[in-house]
Chain A
Amino acid sequence: MAVLSTDRLIFSLSDNLEIEACTYKYSPESRLKHMGKHKPGINICLRSSDNQWSVVLKIIKHYQEEGQGSEVVQGVLLGLVVEDRLEITNCFPFPQHTEDDVDFDEVQYQMEMMRSLRHVNIDHLHVGWYQSTYYGSFVSRALLDSQFSYQHAIEESVVLIYDPIKTAQGSLCLKAYRLTPKLMEICKEKDFSPEGLKKACIGYEHMFEEVPIVIKNSHLINVLLLDLQEKSTVADKHELLNLSSSNHLEKSLQLLMDRMDDMSQDIGKYNTYCRNLSKQQQQKQQYLQRRQQENAQRQSRGEPPLPEEDISKMFKPPQAPARMDTLLIAGQINNYCQNIKEFTSQNLGKLFMAEALQGHNS
Chain B
Amino acid sequence: FRIPQNNELSPPAGHVNFLLIREIHVANVASTGFCQPPTSAGGQQHESHGDLRSLSSSLFIIILHFLYEIMAVHGPVVKIHPVVLASIVDSYERRNEGATRVIGTLLGTTDKHSVEVTNCFSVPHNESEDEVAVDMEFAKNMYELHKKVSPSEVIIGWYATGYDITEHSVLIHEYYSREAPNPIHLTVDTALQSNKMNIRAYVSSQMGVPGKTVGVMFTPLTVKYVYYDTERIGVELLQRTRASPSRTNGLTTDLAQVASAAGRVQEMLTTVLSYIEDILSGKVMADNSVGRFLMDLVNKVPKITAEDFESMLNSNINDLLMVTYLANLTQAQIALNEKLVVL
Contact = CB atoms under 8 A, between A and B. Distances in A.
Interface in B85-142: 85-87, 89-96, 118-119, 121-124, 135, 138, 141-142
Nearest to B253: A342
A119 B138 CA distance: 9
A263 interface: yes
Interface in B245-262: 247-255, 257-259, 261-262
B324 A351 contact: no
Q: Which of B96, B233, B327 has the most CB of A within 10 A?
A: B327
Contacts of A237: 229, 232
Contacts of A120: 91, 94, 121-124
Contacts of A256: 327, 330
Interface in A1-46: 1, 3
Contacts of A344: 320-321, 323-324, 327
Interface string A324-351: 0010001001101100111011111111
B332 A3 contact: yes
Contacts of B264: 236, 238
B30 interface: no
Interface string B331-343: 1101111100110
B91 A57 contact: no
B313 interface: yes
B147 to A, nearest CB: 9
B242 interface: yes
A170 B89 contact: no
A232 interface: yes
A307 B124 CA distance: 83
B124 A119 contact: yes
A240 B249 contact: no
B231 A351 contact: no
Contacts of A65: 118, 150, 152
B289 interface: no
Contacts of B233: 167-168, 170-172, 239
A319 interface: no
Given A116-B141, A170-B257, A60 B336 contact: no
Contact of B225 (A61, A92, A228, A246): A228
Contacts of B121: 120
B23 to A, nearest CB: 29
B328 A241 contact: no
B22 interface: no
Nearest to B237: A172
Given A223-B192, A341-B327, A122 B249 contact: no
A25 B235 CA distance: 34
A164 B234 CA distance: 11
A95 interface: yes
A240 B251 contact: no
Given A171-B233, A238-B261, A57 B83 contact: yes
A351 B250 contact: no
A220 B192 CA distance: 9
A347 B320 contact: yes
B258 A346 contact: yes
B138 A232 contact: no
B89 A224 contact: yes
B216 interface: no
A114 to B, nearest CB: 11
A52 interface: yes
A213 B237 CA distance: 13
A121 B92 contact: no
A189 interface: no
B280 interface: no
A82 interface: no
Contact of B306 (A225, A342, A362): A362
Contacts of A154: none
Contact of B247 (A104, A216, A236, A337): A216
Contacts of A184: none
Interface in A229-249: 229, 231-234, 236-241, 245-246, 249
Contact of A337 (B227, B234, B327, B338): B327
Interface in B183-212: 190, 192, 196-197, 199
A171 to B, nearest CB: 5
B83 A337 contact: no
B173 interface: no
Nearest to A243: B316
Given A222-B242, A345-B254, A109 B249 contact: no
Contact of B148 (A64, A109, A225): A109
9 contacts: A168-B229, A168-B233, A170-B233, A215-B237, A218-B247, A227-B197, A234-B232, A263-B334, A341-B328
Interface of B: 81-83, 85-87, 89-96, 118-119, 121-124, 135, 138, 141-142, 145, 148-150, 152, 190, 192, 196-197, 199, 223-225, 227-239, 241-242, 247-255, 257-259, 261-262, 264-265, 301, 303-304, 306, 309, 313, 316-317, 319-321, 323-324, 327-328, 330-332, 334-338, 341-342
**A-B pairs with the 6 shortest C-beta distances?**
A54-B86, A57-B83, A337-B327, A240-B261, A121-B94, A95-B148
Given A228-B82, A345-B254, A357-B301, 13 more contacts: A1-B332, A52-B90, A53-B86, A64-B230, A173-B251, A204-B338, A217-B238, A218-B89, A225-B242, A227-B197, A267-B337, A351-B320, A358-B309
Interface of A: 1, 3, 50, 52-54, 56-58, 60-66, 89-90, 92-95, 104, 109, 112-113, 116, 119-122, 164, 167-168, 170-174, 194, 197-198, 201, 203-204, 212-229, 231-234, 236-241, 245-246, 249, 253, 256, 260, 263, 267, 270, 323, 326, 330, 333-334, 336-337, 340-342, 344-351, 353-355, 357-358, 361-362
